[in-house]
Amino acid sequence: MGPTLAPMSQTTTVAPVSTGIDPSKIGQLASQLDSDDRGREAVFDVEGLSVSYSGALALDGVSLEIRKNFVTAFIGPSGCGKSTFIRCFNRMNDLIPGAVVEGRVLYHDRDLYGSNVDPVEVRRRIGMVFQKPNPFPKSIYDNIAFGPRVLKLTKDLDERVERTLRHAALWDEVKDRLSENALGLSGGQQQRLCIARALAVEPDVILMDEPASALDPISTTRIEDLMHELKRDYTIVIVTHNMQQAARVADMTAFFWLGRLIEHGPTDRIFTNPSEKLTEDYVTGRFG
């Protein structure tokens, strides 16, 4: 009798992969997605983006779109180019000597690297939060008021500060100590203050590079919940090496490996039914 069984590959690609992540947590804070996201406006459209540092290639021909009011997570092992990539979205690599960016980044259909684009205005529209909370050594109030003052948005400044701190879920904790030094806050509060500082100038996008990796689990959960709240009004891109975090908060997940984008799609698909063997090996913890 000849073999009549279906090839193994057909059955293995439909069976969910085993990530060790509680399946009920995958997509817990994600938007309900249709089978795809094509109807949703693209905030960024990246085409063939490569970055090198003094000639050494760090990011190799990446193309993807970032959708409005989604949380998009970049995952992958250390050194695979996640930070390099996220810095392309607000031209932070411009500030790194030896960094060369090639390819195209459209932001709302405009070339982000066009000669008529002011990088300072770009960084107002596209805010960034870093791994280590970095409040200014100033009062809580002055941290939030800093950007608005630079931009001369000082009308009703007290209201703006309060509104911003409420938006960042920090108001109740700091309303009685606005004149105290921000460095007296806990690490988790400092990071929410940094998120608030980014929000104070009314950005469109918030980029976060491992925003919770220096925080305890409770502070981490608060940041994750905050991302979920903020995506109603903002588009959020995060880098995280914490796969539970990506699985929980991200609507879309992009997996990077050795400077290349291996796979990008709805988070539940990336974590339960990836198309690429490398993605599967990574999300199931076989390397990384």
Tell which one of 78, 115, 116, 179 touches ligand ADP (CB under 6 A). 78
Binding mask 32-71 for ligand ADP (x = CB under 6 A): ---------------------x----x-------------
- Least distance between Mg ion and beta carbon 97 (Å): 18
81 contact choice in ligand ADP, Mg ion, none (CB below 5 to 8 Å, kind-dependent): ligand ADP
160 contact choice in Mg ion, ligand ADP, none (CB below 5 to 8 Å, kind-dependent): none
CB contact burial 155-165 (16+ within 10 A = b; e otherwise):
eeeeebbbbbb
Q: Which residues from 82-101 bind Mg ion, rule CB under 5 A?
A: 83
Residue 251: half-sphere exposure toward Cβ, Cα within 13 Å:
24
Decide whether 131 or 139 has the Cβ nearer to ligand ADP: 131
- Asked whether position 132 contacts ligand ADP by CB under 6 A, the answer is no
- Least distance between Mg ion and beta carbon 94 (Å): 18
- Asked whether position 279 contacts Mg ion by CB under 5 A, the answer is no
Burial class (CB in 10 A: 0-12, 13-18, 19+), 96: middle
- Least distance between ligand ADP and beta carbon 212 (Å): 15
